[in-house]
Structure 1
Amino acid sequence: MADPFLSILHVEKSFGSTRVVQDFNLDVKAGEFVSFLGPSGCGKTTVLRMVAGFEEPSAGAIVVGGKDITRLRPNQRNIGMVFQAYALFPNLTVAQNIGFGLKVAGASRADIDKRVAEMLALISLPQMADRYPYQLSGGQQQRIALARALAPKPKLLLLDEPLSALDAKVRVSLREEIRAIQKSLGITTVFVTHDQEEALSISDRIAVMYGGRAEQVGTPFEIYNRPQTKFVANFVGTLNVLEGTVTDAAAGKVGVDGGELVLKDRLGEARNGDKLSLALRPEAISLGPQPGRNTRLAGEISEVHFLGSVIRVRVGVGGRTVSLDTFNNPASPPPAVGEKAEISFSSGDLLVLS
């Protein structure tokens, strides 16, 4: 990785005796779009607020563009931030809201008007300049908030769950627009969200957070397909977890629900009798035998959920339930609850969780 543009180094934050961020480390390169993904209370917004300067770290350092900004005030950092609540000034027009930061910085009226026009064109709302926030939809207000953050030409953009107050269709549309704008400007961006689909769809990399720590940092492909911990595997996407027992460590054999799996070169230092958690995504499982899927387990259909193009089937196998996804086929109705079934998958698709 090239020299990072943003470095968060061993940062910690405590409120009283409660540690909400613990030894958090992350490097972000120039122009990269990185998301903090995790459940409520995991510390992701606290880290963002420390980068913005609204909270002071209890320990550690924050470096932007080679400069230590850890103790600088927010207005000394040249960072743009968009909040979950739009935080627009209700008594100012759209143009006045966008130009507010420039006015405070002492820019000339001509420069402010020019930059405001550029920002309105960027967010595709040139006709809204004279309107007030109450006259705009939620999606339009968040676009204005984004334009206001970008107007002073910040070197870093922070987005704190900016889409969570919007309805589903607007949220999808606006996240794609934010990503397109970020790419066109090439601005380094950190995005906070609890929505895994959101993070997977627009990020260059994702930092999955839990308990104030970064559990795993990687590309969306790596986070989804190669989770390194049980928490990441469970939090990102739907997951089946099978509990197995090592029956022959030398041969890589693990017993699971009456069947035996071969996990060569993936058992590490496990010994005979050790318990293992094995993860499997629903799309890696088929009903009935399929070419290339060398493992089969017998069960019974317990639930069938029609989701349009995809049908999610839950199969009782031994003492647990396994979910699998299959495409809708109008010529072939889905299985019925209570039917006997056999599921198949490749042992190579199993993840051994730590």
Structure 2
Amino acid sequence: MSFLSLTSIKKSFGPVHVVHDFNMDIEKGEFVSFLGPSGCGKTTVLRMIAGFESPTSGKIVINGRDQNSLKPNQRNIGMVFQAYALFPNMNVHDNVAFGLKVAGTDKSEIDARVKQMLGLIKLEHLADRFPYQLSGGQQQRVALARAIAVKPQVLLLDEPLSALDAKIRVSLREEIRQIQQQLGITTVFVTHDQEEALSISDRIVVMNAGRADQIGTPFEIYNTPSTRFVASFVGTLSIIEGKVADPAAGAVTIGNQQIALKDPIAGMKGGDSISLALRPEAGSIAEGATGDTSLAGEVVSTSFLGSVIRTRLRVGGDVISFDMFNNPGVAPPVSGDNVTLRFAAKDLLVIRE
């Protein structure tokens, strides 16, 4: 039986439908990320779990108990917000202790728990400082410690890293994951950053216009996207338009070139339009590159991205991106070069929606 269950959840604000028939079961100790663009409904779902919003219809169950009729303070949920939300008139110790004091916990137990939490986030030496004396990353660590100090049954994280600079974001997300695994807290993490979701999640929910387009592991979401939206939103991906030449043979015509897919094309006939997707790391123009499929084209542009160089290649009416490792001894192609991109047929995904 799942620990956190969302069944047929819908949410409307007047005539505007924000969440449409959302269903998900989350296991105890699982780390699940809600990933999607602004306005897709991910934060609204999080707020309904917390009790800050009530579902228009549907049911939320945590550890076998119906939550719909419970107020936020009755749900034993810890929440970390994007804007830290620390009390400016309290030092670090008192901020972390706040929820425990509200719960009427004994002072000696509070002090022991706060010490444990500050040790967990490695800020024991800053217990007497006030929020204005801390960096953004330190403030968010304190907010995390405050949320988990009360031993919540579910931890909710609402884009907690978006206000931080890139390097701090990477280190803090790794710390959050480490702490979550150490404590075994069931966690729901909301983000619009695909790298964050892919790097720390057990499963990802890709949301689009109030619906869950796909739910799966990071490996599944990246490698086998189930919709055009997921394919285009998660990672860099080239969409190639073609025509079905022979569905039984998996033959597709792209511009004036014909290639064969790994499998027959089910549910389509000759002449039908077809959309294919290819990740930039799947192809290579290097001499001696392997691959059972190839497409010739003209280089449109190259972009230096540090460890890799991304090249855009015009094939037929589309532009395909592919990556090559930065090798100081090998000059990248330049605009106007005619090259052949080689890749494996299995790396071409058929996009159905």
TM-score grouping bracket, smaller chain normalisation:
over 0.9
Counterpart of 1:212 in structure 2 is 210
Whether the 8 Å CA contact 2:30–2:185 is kept in 1: the answer is: yes
Q: Please show how residues 17-166 of structure 1 align to structure 2 within 5 Å.
A: 17-166=15-164
SS in 2 for 1:115: helix
SS in 2 for 1:250: helix
CA positional deviation for 1:97 = 0.6
Distance 1:216 1:179 in 2: 22
Counterpart of 1:171 in structure 2 is 169
Distance 2:201 2:344 in 1: 29
2:284 to 283, 286, 292: 286
One-letter identity of the residue aligned with 2:207 = M
One-letter identity of the residue aligned with 1:165 = A
- More displaced 10-residue stretch of structure 1: 326-335 or 264-273: 264-273
Distance 1:138 1:26 in 2: 33
SS in 1 for 2:144: helix
Structure 1: 4+ residue segments shifted above 6 A: none
Counterpart of 1:268 in structure 2 is 266
- 1:14 correspondence with 2:12: yes
Note the alpha carbon deviations across 1:94-140, whole angstroms, 9 max, x for none: 11110001111111111111111011001000011111000000000
One-letter identity of the residue aligned with 2:63 = G
CA positional deviation for 1:261 = 2.0
Note the alpha carbon deviations across 1:311-330, whole angstroms, 9 max, x for none: 11111112221110000112
One-letter identity of the residue aligned with 1:51 = I
- 1:224 correspondence with 2:200: no
- 1:237 correspondence with 2:252: no
Counterpart of 2:343 in structure 1 is 345
SS in 1 for 2:78: strand
Whether the 8 Å CA contact 1:266–1:352 is kept in 2: the answer is: no
Distance 1:262 1:320 in 2: 18
CA positional deviation for 1:288 = 5.2
- More displaced 10-residue stretch of structure 1: 74-83 or 247-256: 247-256
One-letter identity of the residue aligned with 2:309 = I
One-letter identity of the residue aligned with 2:263 = D
Distance 2:281 2:120 in 1: 39
Distance 1:166 1:44 in 2: 20
Note the alpha carbon deviations across 1:182-229, whole angstroms, 9 max, x for none: 010011100000000000000010000001010000000000000000
CA positional deviation for 1:340 = 1.5
Report the TM-score, using the length of structure 2 for normalisation.
0.98
- More displaced 10-residue stretch of structure 1: 258-267 or 135-144: 258-267
Aligned length: 352
Report the TM-score, using the length of structure 1 for normalisation.
0.97
Whether the 8 Å CA contact 1:289–1:296 is kept in 2: the answer is: no
CA positional deviation for 1:294 = 1.9
CA positional deviation for 1:265 = 3.4
One-letter identity of the residue aligned with 1:193 = T
Note the alpha carbon deviations across 1:17-61, whole angstroms, 9 max, x for none: 000000001111011100000000000000000000000000100
CA positional deviation for 1:263 = 2.4
Distance 1:93 1:122 in 2: 17
Whether the 8 Å CA contact 2:38–2:192 is kept in 1: the answer is: yes
Whether the 8 Å CA contact 2:241–2:318 is kept in 1: the answer is: no
CA positional deviation for 1:289 = 6.3
Distance 2:324 2:290 in 1: 17
Whether the 8 Å CA contact 2:32–2:187 is kept in 1: the answer is: yes
Whether the 8 Å CA contact 2:32–2:203 is kept in 1: the answer is: yes
Unaligned 5+ segments in structure 2 are none
Whether the 8 Å CA contact 1:288–1:341 is kept in 2: the answer is: no
One-letter identity of the residue aligned with 1:138 = G
Distance 1:258 1:282 in 2: 22
SS in 1 for 2:172: helix
CA positional deviation for 1:290 = 4.8
2:298 to 297, 300, 303: 300
CA positional deviation for 1:241 = 0.5
Distance 1:70 1:266 in 2: 48
Counterpart of 2:3 in structure 1 is 5
One-letter identity of the residue aligned with 1:347 = A
CA positional deviation for 1:298 = 1.6
Identity of aligned residues (%): 64
Distance 2:258 2:307 in 1: 33
Whether the 8 Å CA contact 2:248–2:264 is kept in 1: the answer is: no
Whether the 8 Å CA contact 1:289–1:342 is kept in 2: the answer is: no
One-letter identity of the residue aligned with 2:147 = A
Quickly say closer, same or farther: Cα 1:5–1:334, change in 2 above 3 A.
same
